[in-house]
Amino acid sequence: MESGPGKRRRFEVNGIVQGVGFRPFVYRLAVGLGLKGFIRNTASGVLIEVQGPTETIDDFSMRLRTEGPPLSRIETISDTVLPPGEEQDFSIGASGPGAEIETLIPPDIALCGDCRRELFDPTDRRYRYPFINCTNCGPRYTIVGRLPYDRPFTSMHGFAMCPACEREYHDPLDRRFHAQPNACPVCGPAALLCDATGEKVNVPDAVAAAAAMLHEGKILALKGVGGFHLAVDAANDAAVRRLRERKGREAKPFAVMMGDLETVSKLCELSALESEALTSPEAPIVLLRRKDTGGLSPEVAPGNDRLGVMLPYSPLHALLSADAPEVLVMTSANFSEEPIVSDNGEVFSRLSGIADAFLVHDRPIYRKCDDSVAVELSGKLRQIRRSRGFVPVPVFLRDGGPVVLGTGGELKNTFALLKGTHALLSQHIGDMKNYEALKHFEHTTEHLQHLFQVRPELIVHDLHPGHMTTRWAMEQEVPLLAVQHHHAHLASCLAENREDGPAIGLMLDGTGYGTDGTIWGGEVLIGDENGAERFACFEPMPIAGGETAIMQPWRLALGYLRRCRPDLPSLPFMDGRPVGPVLELLQRGTHVYETSSCGRLFDAVAALSGLRGEISFEGQAAIELMHAAGGSAGTEAFPHGLRKENGRWLMLVSSIFGAAAESVLLGMTVREISRMFHRSLVNLFLDITAKASEASGLKTVALSGGVFQNALLFETLAGELERVGYRVLSHSLVPSNDGGLSLGQAVIGRSFLAGRYIGVC
């Protein structure tokens, strides 16, 4: 046994190591090993000094790297040998200078295993307590009002801890050491059941009573972590229909909550990665392939081969799920793309007439935060909506630079604040089309700037002059930059992959304002964050009737057909439609605009093939068209073509669409048409990529835009590109849809400030 003071070493740890239980972890580790020394927070992480026998310190060093708390993320560790010190024990020191300012606010974290055990343990003092939490779990981001991250500045400020909770909070060896939302039935928030009018219902156990109502087919408004959900028994067809009717949501799929993985695997295919995602601390909704209906109402996710599934992530959800029907519809309580409802007062007025009962509680939600949504594609988990559980954890950039705010797109809005090498993305704000969304956007930008103590040097907004975010940006007294939509998509993909580029970018989506004032959406850009060349685009096609046409894909199909088949053969999709007036519009050219959109092409083909002439939400026809292919793009394709015009390649929509129309005339099935259409696009993109590669010498291809949420197109195309030798960059940390746009905008903003920005030509 070594005697004397032993060796002393200093470890400086950077990364996400504050507010995630890292200091208690190190304390327990060091005390357990009999080491002396201290740990304290610093501006960018923690500083640890330990003293003891060499082997013990080696053991400490190894376990420091491998056994950290679930939410910690170590980026770097420096390790220095020091002369021995004088301590008699190991202590948690006061924070060093600057520590307050850099402290990262953790995201909201799903119920941990330890708390779950206590929750269902009749001997535990928190048995069936819906607000149980600890250092490893519980609400964080959604309860923070302002800095510093301390209980008085959270929505827990109204709850004084009882002596038992207080003891846990101050004991470094306790799992609840410095857990800000620590609470128990004696001192903490309580759940409350109210009837349809908002009157309190007196029941001994609000959660059990709410579960009983769900068994009866009632619609329950349920206050969660980042806002309210509407819940209903997913197996009760009448109840699900009633929810659709009352919410005015015709067909958009509902997400569901199931109690455990075992239940999930009965209804859905489940890979190791998907199981891991469902049970992760972030607990997103994961879009899973359905095995069969499993007795669920067909109204849950009509026309969709995937089901959005999540596990109970708060103790309230876990309790409810244990007593309620096996599968619950859980849909955000909001109105047609407005932000999620989060306030008790608001919920009674806004959801009256929808909910039969309200399961609420008295812990305020300071930040609205929707559930996150992810999907596994090509063996990787991809964000579709990066929100609760992820925000405000940064996306790590390769390079630092000035503070820039990217305001995001109009649909599925998020914004991004760049600070050093951290890209801080906001939660999902929603579609920027109403006053509520703008308010949510304003509050959240203000809040994140406060949390991270930054003010942007530059605000980047979309090139579209009419967007709400553009108008908002104009009102700020900060220099501005307008950035083209698809350029931002490209830069976003490069940034999350920590790549400089240049790359060949296949940017495929529904709508983005082009530098020529037309609507783009099927673009091949070659470039990087500094600028890009519009190397190719889809052949422009007419849309008659603006916004209406987008919700009525049969109008798109008619316009496309007229363009490629002027003889206008009569096809079944025209039956019963007011074809004449639309043709007249197209003829006169009034209310007609041209677009190179890829999303609209999907819609038009879906309508042409007789699948769907009208939609009730964006992407509906495209999703159903993909679904119709039955998981394969087959081998046959329609002929495609490329034509060079004014120095730019046009990807000829007319040859594909014309051939598809011919197939409909020949009586080909929707399944065959869908397969051939997908295969044609893959062939077309391979061809244009080859041309772009030849012209530029590049072998790296970046894929971005909402169309890449199409699993069939994405997996087939990415696979083929790799097979012929390209390096493929795609999204996983941020969405490929417009939810990831703000990251690209902000990165382009830094290029502008550095004097490198050229734009799109």
How far apart, in whole angstroms, are the C-alpha atoms of residue 760 and residue 98? 41
What's the Cα-to-Cα distance from 534 to each of 236, 499, 594, 761, rounded to whole Å?
Answer: 51, 20, 17, 6
Whether 611 contacts 592, CB under 8 Å: no
Measured from the CB atom, the residue of 183 and 459 that comes closer to Zn ion is 183
Whether 488 contacts 390, CB under 8 Å: no
Residue 255: exposure state from Cβ atoms within 10 A (0-12, 13-18, ≥19)? buried
Tracing tokens 């909704």 back to the chain, one arrives at 285
CB of 489 to Fe ion, least distance (A): 6
The interface partner of residue 184, options being Zn ion, Fe ion, none and the CB cut-off 5 to 8 Å by kind, is Zn ion
The interface partner of residue 115, options being Zn ion, Fe ion, none and the CB cut-off 5 to 8 Å by kind, is Zn ion
How far apart, in whole angstroms, are the C-alpha atoms of residue 36 and residue 38? 7
Measured from the CB atom, the residue of 117 and 398 that comes closer to Zn ion is 117
**Element holding 36 (H helix, E strand):** strand 36-41
Interface with Zn ion, residue 318, by CB under 5 A: no
Secondary structure (3-state) at 626: helix
Measured from the CB atom, the residue of 282 and 509 that comes closer to Fe ion is 509
Measured from the CB atom, the residue of 496 and 509 that comes closer to Fe ion is 509
The interface partner of residue 187, options being Zn ion, Fe ion, none and the CB cut-off 5 to 8 Å by kind, is Zn ion
CB of 177 to Zn ion, least distance (A): 12
The interface partner of residue 738, options being Zn ion, Fe ion, none and the CB cut-off 5 to 8 Å by kind, is Fe ion
Measured from the CB atom, the residue of 133 and 414 that comes closer to Zn ion is 133
How far apart, in whole angstroms, are the C-alpha atoms of residue 394 and residue 426? 10
CB of 164 to Zn ion, least distance (A): 6
Dihedral sign computed on CA atoms, order 143, 144, 149, 155: negative
| Touching Zn ion, residues 24-53 (CB under 5 A) | none
CB of 132 to Zn ion, least distance (A): 7
What distance lies between CA 584 and its chain's CA centroid? 42
Measured from the CB atom, the residue of 127 and 587 that comes closer to Zn ion is 127
CB of 70 to Zn ion, least distance (A): 10
CB of 300 to Fe ion, least distance (A): 28
Size of the site for Zn ion (CB under 5 A): 10
Q: Which amino acid is at 321?
A: S
CB of 428 to Fe ion, least distance (A): 15
Beta bridge partners of 134: 137
Dihedral sign computed on CA atoms, order 581, 584, 588, 591: positive
CB of 31 to Fe ion, least distance (A): 52
Beta bridge partners of 645: 648
How far apart, in whole angstroms, are the C-alpha atoms of residue 132 and residue 125? 10
Give helix 653-665 / helix 670-696 axis angle, nearest 10°: 160
CB of 563 to Fe ion, least distance (A): 24
CB of 115 to Zn ion, least distance (A): 3
Minimal CB distance residue for Fe ion = 509
Q: Which residues contact 262 (CB under 8 A, 6 or more apart)?
A: none
Measured from the CB atom, the residue of 508 and 605 that comes closer to Fe ion is 508
Measured from the CB atom, the residue of 109 and 194 that comes closer to Zn ion is 109
Secondary structure (3-state) at 158: coil
The interface partner of residue 208, options being Fe ion, Zn ion, none and the CB cut-off 5 to 8 Å by kind, is none
What distance lies between CA 453 and its chain's CA centroid? 24
| Touching Zn ion, residues 131-190 (CB under 5 A) | 134, 136-137, 162, 165, 184, 186-187
How far apart, in whole angstroms, are the C-alpha atoms of residue 747 and residue 732? 17
How far apart, in whole angstroms, are the C-alpha atoms of residue 224 and residue 347? 12
Distance between first and last Cα of the chain: 72
Secondary structure (3-state) at 193: strand
Tokens of 227: 């806002």
Whether 19 contacts 149, CB under 8 Å: yes
How far apart, in whole angstroms, are the C-alpha atoms of residue 419 and residue 397? 10
The residue among 435, 448, 528 whose CA lies nearest residue 754 is: 528
Measured from the CB atom, the residue of 187 and 273 that comes closer to Zn ion is 187
| Touching Zn ion, residues 179-238 (CB under 5 A) | 184, 186-187
How far apart, in whole angstroms, are the C-alpha atoms of residue 489 and residue 687? 21
How far apart, in whole angstroms, are the C-alpha atoms of residue 540 and residue 600? 11
CB of 138 to Zn ion, least distance (A): 6
How far apart, in whole angstroms, are the C-alpha atoms of residue 410 and residue 739? 9
Measured from the CB atom, the residue of 431 and 738 that comes closer to Fe ion is 738
CB of 509 to Fe ion, least distance (A): 4
The interface partner of residue 165, options being Fe ion, Zn ion, none and the CB cut-off 5 to 8 Å by kind, is Zn ion
CB of 72 to Zn ion, least distance (A): 15
How far apart, in whole angstroms, are the C-alpha atoms of residue 725 and residue 641? 23
Measured from the CB atom, the residue of 31 and 190 that comes closer to Zn ion is 190
CB of 71 to Zn ion, least distance (A): 11
Measured from the CB atom, the residue of 519 and 586 that comes closer to Fe ion is 519
CB of 171 to Zn ion, least distance (A): 14
Measured from the CB atom, the residue of 179 and 621 that comes closer to Zn ion is 179
How far apart, in whole angstroms, are the C-alpha atoms of residue 606 and residue 629? 11
Interface with Zn ion, residue 316, by CB under 5 A: no
CB atoms < 10 A from the CB of 187, how many? 15
Measured from the CB atom, the residue of 288 and 733 that comes closer to Fe ion is 733
Tracing tokens 């601390």 back to the chain, one arrives at 281
Interface with Zn ion, residue 482, by CB under 5 A: no
Measured from the CB atom, the residue of 93 and 185 that comes closer to Zn ion is 185
The residue among 450, 495, 441 whose CA lies nearest residue 473 is: 441
The interface partner of residue 134, options being Fe ion, Zn ion, none and the CB cut-off 5 to 8 Å by kind, is Zn ion
The interface partner of residue 299, options being Zn ion, Fe ion, none and the CB cut-off 5 to 8 Å by kind, is none
The interface partner of residue 162, options being Fe ion, Zn ion, none and the CB cut-off 5 to 8 Å by kind, is Zn ion
Q: Tell me which residues touch Fe ion (CB under 5 A).
A: 509, 738
The interface partner of residue 509, options being Zn ion, Fe ion, none and the CB cut-off 5 to 8 Å by kind, is Fe ion
Tracing tokens 């108008």 back to the chain, one arrives at 471
The residue among 201, 139, 159, 137 whose CA lies nearest residue 360 is: 201
| Touching Zn ion, residues 97-136 (CB under 5 A) | 112, 115, 134, 136
The interface partner of residue 112, options being Fe ion, Zn ion, none and the CB cut-off 5 to 8 Å by kind, is Zn ion
The residues binding Zn ion (CB under 5 A) are 112, 115, 134, 136-137, 162, 165, 184, 186-187
